[in-house]
């Protein structure tokens, strides 16, 4: 952990050592290479954990050019458990099903 905060936490996910190891990797890497090297790492979710392998298995034959690309793929693929309150929006106070279209 750094002095300025936890640099391994990304958008509510705890990447732990995976973040640093991805940043130290030699790119490009394809999905198969990533899963061989990092598949057993755990990604912390608000209500549990998923392995890197579980998160990345849906990717196919992708090639990643940087740690940032891998981290973005993780964010895009985590299960619904990582979403937090499903259906929540801070974009207005309207109730679900209520017509809140307003013209300004």
Q: Would 23 be classed as within a structural domain? A: yes
Q: How much is the pLDDT for 2?
A: 38
pLDDT at 38 over 90: yes
Q: How many CA atoms lie within 13 A of 85 on its CB side?
A: 3
For residue 37, what is the DSSP state?
H
pLDDT tens column, 17-34: 999 999 999 999 999 999
Report the predicted TM-score, pTM, of the whole model to 2 decimal places. Answer: 0.68
Q: Would 98 be classed as within a structural domain? A: no
- For residue 54, the enclosing domain spans 9-81
pLDDT tens column, 67-88: 999 999 998 888 665 555 555 5
**Closest among 7, 5, 69, 76 to 34, alpha carbons compared:** 69
Q: Would 76 be classed as within a structural domain? A: yes
Q: Would 1 be classed as within a structural domain? A: no
Overall domain count for the chain? 1
Where does 39-100 have alpha helices with state H? 52-56, 67-77
Backbone angles phi, psi at 48, to 5 degrees: 150, -150
CA–CA distance, 28 with 26 (Å, rounded to integer)? 7
Q: Would 96 be classed as within a structural domain? A: no
Q: How much is the pLDDT for 91?
A: 66
Q: Would 3 be classed as within a structural domain? A: no
Q: Would 102 be classed as within a structural domain? A: no
């Amino acid at each position: 952990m750094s002095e300025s905060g936890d640099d391994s936490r990304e958008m509510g996910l705890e990447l732990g050592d995976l973040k640093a190891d991805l940043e130290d990797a030699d790119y490009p890497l394809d999905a198969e290479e990533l899963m061989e090297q990092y598949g057993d790492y755990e990604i912390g979710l608000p209500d549990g954990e998923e392995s890197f392998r579980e998160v990345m298995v849906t990717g196919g034959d992708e090639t990643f050019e940087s740690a940032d690309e891998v981290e973005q793929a993780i964010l895009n693929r985590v299960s619904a458990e990582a979403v937090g309150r499903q259906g929540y929006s801070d974009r207005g106070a309207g109730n679900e099903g209520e017509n809140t279209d307003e013209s300004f």
